[in-house]
Every structure is written in structure tokens, then in C-alpha cells.
Structure 1
Amino acid sequence: MSDQYMRNLTFENIAKACEGKYIGDESLLQTQITGAVIDSRLVKDGYLFIPVKGEKVDGHKFIPNVFEQGAAIVLSEHELENPAGPYVLVDSTTDAMKKLAAFYRKGLDIKVVGITGSVGKTSTKEMISSVLEQKYSVHKTAGNFNNEIGLPLTIFGIRDSHQVAVLEMGISDFGEMHRLSTMSCPNVMVITNIGYCHLEFLGDRDGVLKAKTECFEHMMPDAVAVLNGDDDKLATKQMVNGKPAVFYGKGESVEAGASDKTTSAGTDDNASAQIHKSVYTTNIENLGFDGMSAHFVTPVGEFDAHIHIPGEHNVYNAMAATAVGLQLGLTIDEIKAGIEAAQTIAGRTNFIKTNGMTVIDDCYNANPVSMKSSIEVLSHAKGRTIAVLGDMGELGADEKQLHHEVGEAVGTNHIDALFCAGELAQGYAKGASEKDAQVDVHYFAEREAMTEELLKYVKEGDTILVKASHFMEFPKVVAALNNEE
């Protein structure tokens, strides 16, 4: 079948999959669509348009326009008067979109790699994709299209020419992973870690584990779970759907403490005290801004690789990619080549040279683990180091303590200066000062005031880390440093 069309997505099958009512010319029922979008501006000839009700705009109002642009069919939550083309009447367009994505995925002859975890989903997705691209045609999640709207749109982008899809799945509450994995049905499911994210909804790390591992219930029958064996919560998941999990981490094995096997997060009764890792690393060397190097050990051979992205967490990303590559039949040489070809993406530890300074743009999002990783990367810079940090969101009852701990990491890594903004950022200031009185600490209630003073403070030769949760709008700080504002 040509890539021009979406496999099995005829008008008739769309109506059935969405559990909706087809209204239009019956002779068109076997017509296949060429694409599916929710943004009316992206509609092309032969597309399905899915109008979504947003906070400000209801996509239904664009239905007349999309037919003029060449849309073949649309979904609608209400009956249309004199439509210029056929439509499927549904109760909810967003629910219908998810059902349609699940139907489409099940009809595809493709391997799906699912990725979730509290930290590092996107960077792990990029590393895995870089490895798999050495052998396969890969379709991957673009940007942050990893939620209940973004994932179906990503799935709709798969075509017959693709051999593997690498799908990132992000959640913040119970039940979401059920819905995401129902759509993706992974053949390989990677979980990077269980951290302190979305605790206001999930309670504690046991809650995070329970929510993330909902994906196990919707994996393909032959699927394999690839898990970070150095994470105490994931180490309890030694059997997944009757098959041994594939663990990766530093060193060949790790002790799984007894307390970790008796948590309330649905752990396995047969968890042993010793976790054997199928893929592990030794001789890890931090090369500062030049990245990391490590020796990789696998069941089919060993190799050395230079990861060109700074930060020790990228060694874990590379181990996950190695484990996935082995599951999908790559050679050691292909895996090594993919690891060494991986690059950063905008907003994720992206290095910007500007005005004689280096800005580490890592302000896409933030949580305690990723904050500490980024601060560790900053500590390897030559010249003066400046951490520019904003509040982290959705941390629940321990939010003040967790901000304090990130501040302590600033002090422990002997960062020269800290500029921080936000209500909770006072914890950064206090933690940094307590750990290292030499840190030049500047606290501000508002981002704007902080940015104004930061621009007066920075000079040639500085390396500046910019990081905060998305709601703090710290990309504006990066733009100001780069003379874009």
C-alpha cells in the first residue's frame, strides 16, 4: 500500500472504530484517508479533520473551512447542516480520536517501542531512535506529543514504510497510562525511572510506580519490559506478564532490598534479592562538555562508546537504547554507531554559544532528579558557572524539602552563582547557602526582576544553566541572554 494512504482507515472503518454514525454518501464508504489532524491549518487533500474543543476555541467552527481545503471527512459532536462532505457523528471527538488511534495501530505491521518514566523520556526516545535508525525506518514522537492528545496524533503519523515506532508516553495521574498504552500496544516497553513527579496526584513514588506500570496490561503478547535496574522501585518488577524483565544499569548486578519488595505498588512476590542486568556499563568517564564514555557489556558482546551529550544520565539512556536494539535484532556495531550519532534537541540540555558565553538551555521542564543532573553537567564547565533556576511544579507535600535539596546540589557542586525566581525557589537559595557559603546567591520573587539583574551580572566566559518547570516560562530567560527579547 502506498504511504499516501492510512492502512485500513476507510470511512466505514473510521465510523466503526469511533463507535459513531456515518452521515454522507454511502458510495464513499470504502474511501481511504491520507492523514488525520486536529489543527485545521494542517488539513490537506484526503485528510480526516478531528475538531477538538479547546479552552478558547471549538474546532467545530472550522469544519466548513477544512472541506474547502480538501478534507475528505470530519468528525463532529453534533449534526451538521448542509455539510460539504461526509462526517461521523460521535459523542466525544477526543474519545473517538483515541479509539481510532488504537484501531489504526492494531492494523499496522510495525514494532512499537513505548517509553515512560519520571525523568529522561524524551532524551531516551532520541537515543533509542538514533540506535534503531541504524537498521530501520523509524517514526518517533515529535516534541512533547506524548499525552492523550499528542500520542494519537503521533500514531496517525505512522505509514507503511515505517518499520519501528518509538512512542513517548507521559502521564500525571492514575488511569492515563491505561489509555495511552491501549493506543500504543508496545512490543518493547521502556521505563527509565520512578521519581518525584506529579506527586500532588500520585502521592508518593509507590503511586508513581503503580501509575507508570499500568502500561504492562496493554503490551503485545510477546512484549518485553526494559527497565532501569538501578531504580529501587523498578527492580521489584522482575517478572512482567510472565516474562523476565530486561534490566540495565551500572555494574552487573544490584541488591534489591527487602523493603523494596514489599511496597504497596503491586510488586512481584518472587522478587529475589539480586537483580542481574542484561546490559550494564563499567569504566564510565565524565568528559565534561565533551560528553561521556563507557564500556558496555551485553549478552552478545562488549563495546566502548563515546556519548557526545554531557551528563551521566545519558549513559543510562544509552544502556536503554542498547537493550532495545538487542531486542530488535541490531548488531553491536549498529548499536555503538547509533549511540555515538545521538545529539541533543532544543530545550533539552541544548548548548548555545552567545555573546562570548555558553547558555545551557534545559528549561523545557524540571523535577528534582533532572535538576540535579543538569547542575552536575554545569559543574564541569570552565570559567564562572551560574545556575538560573525556577520553581518545580506538582511535587506535592514535600515540595519545599525537594527544592531545598536541589539548592544543596548547587552548593555540593560548588556552582559559582545562583539566580532563582519563584515562591518555592527560596528553598534553592537556602539549600545552596547552607552547603557552600561561597555560592553567590540571588533570589527574586518574579522571573522578570531576576532576568533584569542576571543580564547585568553575566559576562564573557560564563556558563549559564537555565532550568525550571514549564509554567515558569524560562525560555524567555534564554531569549534575553541570546538578545532575542
Structure 2
Amino acid sequence: MKPIFIEDVIKAVNGCINNNINTDDIFIKNISTDTRTIKQGDLFIPIVGENFDGHNFIDVAFEKGAIACLSQKDIKTDNIVIKVGDTKDALKDLAIYYKSLFNIPVIALTGSAGKTTTKDMLASCLSVKYNTVKTQGNFNNEIGLPLTIFNIEEDTQVVVLEMGMNHFGEIRELSKIAKPDIALITNIGVSHIENLGSREGILRAKYEIFEYLKPNGIKILNGDDDMLYTLKEDSSRCYFYSVDSTLDAYATNIKEKGIEGISATINYFDKSFNLDLKIPGKHMISNALAVTLVCSILGLKENEIKEGLETFKPSKMRMDIIKVDKYTVINDAYNANPTSMKATLDVLATTKGRKVAILGDMFELGEYSNDMHYDVGKYATEKGIDELIFIGEHSYYMLQGANSNKNSKSNINYFKTQDDFIKDIYNVLNEGDTILVKASRGMKLENTVDKIIRRESNAV
């Protein structure tokens, strides 16, 4: 972070000092909302959540070297405390001020599925040419996004910000902070439909990303998504990418190579290059097309985009291929929704040998949950998966969907809990299996992956 004077912080957050300390020449070196990361010279911002209150740790922050803190409560201390109306709002206001100190392009992206992989893929490509700051981990909310902005340094050349949400208005707030130059939506699925009511509602919520797009900003949209393609007549600067149609960026000569990856020719504007991804799945080509458009607009050449894409490695538990003595595991246990479930089943179906899918509950589907689990279960049998294992209360409807396919040759198992399955895990798996593990984050199916791997000594 570029050091900033406390006086500028006070103005940015519309705050006031708790005592008569002269702060004219005092500056802060970094921002922290967690006392575990506090360093000498930091500004501590205590956040109030449903089950915690950061104000309880203000003394700890000062003991660890914080030079000042914000507070929405009256605090008795001889240290520098800046009183604000709401610390969470102040965090956002400070991020808006800090970002205004830099004149660099900001790319914002959201979507129901694939946004994190697309973000990481985009940062990989941009880093070939530019010093890039990107959202780390799941820092894609009203706390994480400002903290990402504070990672901008004097030599930063471009920023990639992922935006998540589960209610209306959340992406609007994030877009207000980011004020992106380029905004991208990967797709409109059914994640968080419980809170947003319909795919139309999800589209409205995701479309908030454009509300604070710069006046000459650019929109990038997935032309294969039926909801996003309805925006084709948008008169503003808008580009579409597609795996299935010839749009601004499109793919030809697609060749799937099982878990070894996928290749294609990437065509965009008047250019093209051959791409050999080491990550499996047709949806990865879609992500690559989105990335190609953004990178092209920011001045990267074909060979630079190709290099960034082909050297990209996904985050842990996102299409993470793990080979051990007896099995090959596709660890995609980080999260799940119906769209991503089907995409990973498509990948599994292309692999050789016996195919095993261990699938768990998908959350936040509301009144659609039973039908969507049912549909995924039936789809799994249609893809010819040899062994199906469904885990969780909601996944009982996957079981019903799988059993509804009278032509299915899949062996079908159901376990109410992960613990029940783990007790029987080695009776279900055979040597040589390729095993997909996927569920929503709350199911923690990485425990199943760990159980499979721990039996083996030669994970690679």
C-alpha cells in the first residue's frame, strides 16, 4: 500500500479525532480489519458482524503496533481513534479515496459460475505484460474488495476485481467503489436464486456491475448465455464471446483431451491463435475467450495472451487434478451449482476407465432446490458415469433423479452424511478409478478428497 496521511483518512471517511493529538505529519502504512495481521504503522478498522465485534480488539491492535484505528463507538484511549458513523461504510469510503490516487485500468467481473477461475486466468495473462493486483481467495465482498484495492502500489499497472453477491444491491456497492473501466459477466445461472427469486432477478443483480462503469467503459458478456444474449442490442460498447457461435471472440477446432486438458483455436476481432489448455472442460475455453477479449483491449498481443493462458493453474479445489497410486481425483469441491455440476460431469465423461462422481448438496437454491438436484442426478446417469455417490439431505433428490432414468447403467449410492460415506469409502472405489468430488462449500467434501489421498503415499 502507498502510505497515506491520517489527515487524508479523516477527510475520506468524514471522521473526527477523539482527542487533541496533532496528526499533521503522521501517516499509515497499511489497512487491517484483523488484529492477527496487524503490523507497525497500520490503521485498524474494526468491523461489526452478526457474531463478532472488532471493537473488542482495538486494544490488541494498538499493542501490536497499529498507529490509529477507526471506531463507531466511544473509545477511551490515549491513542489515535477516528470516530465514524459506521466502520464498514468508512472502509468503503477510504477505498474509494485510495483508488482515486491512481490512474490505472480496473477490470471487474462477476457471474453465477466460473468467475473466480476467469479472474485468476485473466490475472495470469495480464501479468505477462503488466504488474497486476487481483482479488485473492474469496475477498470478493464489501470487506474483501476494499482490502484488495489497498494492495495497489505505486508500480501497479492494472487491477482485477471479482465481485460476489447473494442479494440485490451488493454488486452496486462494489461497483461504486471500483468504478471499473471494463466489466465482465460470465453467465447467469441459479446461484443464490433463493434470495433473488428467478434468473431474471439474478440478471438484474449481476447487471449492477455496470452502474458505475466509466463513461467510456466496455462491457464483456457471454454470448452463449440466453439471459446475457438478450442484451445484444445494447448500444454502449459491448463485446460478446461464444464457444458455439461466431461473435466478437469465438472458438473453433475444439478438441477435448480428457483430464489432460482441451485445445482450440481462439478467434477475436481480426486475430487468432492456437490454444492448448492444461485444464479440462469446454467451459474453460469459454473463460479463455472472455479473458482474450479483455487482454486484447488492454493491448496484449496474441503470443502474450497465449502464454498467460497456457501457464495458468487453477486455485486449490477448483478442477484440481490429483494423481495417486490407485486413483485419479478431480477435486472441484470448492463450490457448486447446477451449471458447474453439469460442466464437471461433462469433463468426467471424457475420461478413460471407470468414472466415479461423488456429489454433495448445492445450497441457496430455495424453492427450486429439489428440482435442480433431481435434474443433476438424472444428467449424471445420461453422461454414463459408472459409479454415482450422492451425499447430503438435498442430494436425496439427486438420487431420485438418477433412479428415474430407466436406461441408466450407473451404480447408484446414497449417504445422508459425509461421515457415513467415509466409513464405506473403500468399498465403493476401485483401483484405476477417475473420481470427481464436487459440492457446495458448506459440505466440506475436501475431507473426502483428503481421505482418498491419505490412503496413498505417492500423490503427484
TM score, norm. by length of structure 1:
0.90
1:323 to 2:293 alignment: yes
1:53 to 2:48 alignment: yes
- Per the alignment, residue 271 of structure 1 pairs with none
- Per the alignment, residue 77 of structure 1 pairs with 72
Please point out which of 215, 221, 232 is paired with 1:221: 215
- Per the alignment, residue 427 of structure 2 pairs with 456
Return closer, same or farther for 1:330/1:447 CA change in 2, 3 Å cut-off: same
Aligned-pair CA distance for 1:432: 2.1
- Per the alignment, residue 242 of structure 2 pairs with 249
- Per the alignment, residue 150 of structure 2 pairs with 156
Look up the equivalent residue of 2:384 and give its one-letter code.
H
Sequence identity (%): 41
The question of whether the paired residues in 1 share the 8 Å contact of 2:217 and 2:237 is answered with no
Q: Distance in 2 between matches of 1:198 and 1:300?
A: 38
Aligned-pair CA distance for 1:22: 2.3
Gaps of 5+ in 2: none
Q: Number of residues paired by the alignment? A: 455
Q: Distance in 1 between matches of 2:219 and 2:444?
A: 35
Aligned-pair CA distance for 1:252: 4.7
Please list the CA deviations of residues 3-57 of structure 1 after superposition, one character each: whole Å capped at 9, or x if unmatched: 6x34xx3212212222222234553234332111111010112111111224443
Q: Distance in 1 between matches of 2:450 and 2:49?
A: 28
1:399 to 2:393 alignment: no
Gaps of 5+ in 1: 254-276
Q: Distance in 2 between matches of 1:408 and 1:79?
A: 58
1:204 to 2:194 alignment: no
Please list the CA deviations of residues 57-78 of structure 1 after superposition, one character each: whole Å capped at 9, or x if unmatched: 3222221222222212111121
1:143 to 2:137 alignment: yes
Aligned-pair CA distance for 1:382: 2.2
Please point out which of 170, 175, 179 is paired with 1:181: 175
Return closer, same or farther for 1:129/1:72 CA change in 2, 3 Å cut-off: same
SS at match of 2:27: coil
- Per the alignment, residue 38 of structure 2 pairs with 43
1:343 to 2:337 alignment: no
**Superposed counterparts of 1:356-395, under 5 Å:** 356-395=326-365
Please list the CA deviations of residues 123-181 of structure 1 after superposition, one character each: whole Å capped at 9, or x if unmatched: 10111111111110111111111111211111111212111111100111111111111
Q: Distance in 2 between matches of 1:91 and 1:315?
A: 46
SS at match of 2:295: helix
Return closer, same or farther for 1:79/1:290 CA change in 2, 3 Å cut-off: same
Q: Distance in 1 between matches of 2:26 and 2:194?
A: 46
SS at match of 1:482: helix
Q: Distance in 1 between matches of 2:424 and 2:128?
A: 47
Look up the equivalent residue of 1:18 and give its one-letter code.
V
Look up the equivalent residue of 1:233 and give its one-letter code.
M
CA RMSD, Structure 1 to Structure 2 (Å) = 1.8
1:92 to 2:82 alignment: no
Q: Distance in 1 between matches of 2:445 and 2:48?
A: 28
Q: Distance in 1 between matches of 2:284 and 2:56?
A: 45
The question of whether the paired residues in 1 share the 8 Å contact of 2:125 and 2:308 is answered with yes
Please point out which of 57, 63, 74 is paired with 2:58: 63
The question of whether the paired residues in 1 share the 8 Å contact of 2:258 and 2:352 is answered with no
Q: Distance in 2 between matches of 1:176 and 1:56?
A: 20
1:467 to 2:438 alignment: yes
The question of whether the paired residues in 1 share the 8 Å contact of 2:219 and 2:238 is answered with yes
**Superposed counterparts of 1:4-43, under 5 Å:** 5-6=2-3, 9-24=4-19, 26-43=21-38
Q: Distance in 2 between matches of 1:418 and 1:359?
A: 14
SS at match of 2:28: coil
Aligned-pair CA distance for 1:286: 0.8
Please point out which of 280, 300, 304 is paired with 1:334: 304
The question of whether the paired residues in 2 share the 8 Å contact of 1:378 and 1:385 is answered with yes
- Per the alignment, residue 259 of structure 1 pairs with none
Return closer, same or farther for 1:227/1:30 CA change in 2, 3 Å cut-off: farther
Please point out which of 376, 397, 400 is paired with 1:430: 400
Please point out which of 231, 237, 241 is paired with 2:231: 237
Q: Distance in 1 between matches of 2:433 and 2:184?
A: 37
SS at match of 1:296: strand
Look up the equivalent residue of 2:256 and give its one-letter code.
N
- Per the alignment, residue 261 of structure 1 pairs with none
TM score, norm. by length of structure 2:
0.95
Aligned-pair CA distance for 1:465: 1.0
Q: Distance in 2 between matches of 1:418 and 1:326?
A: 42
Please point out which of 98, 105, 116 is paired with 1:122: 116
SS at match of 1:233: helix
Aligned-pair CA distance for 1:354: 3.1
- Per the alignment, residue 410 of structure 2 pairs with 439
More deviation, 402-411/25-34: 25-34
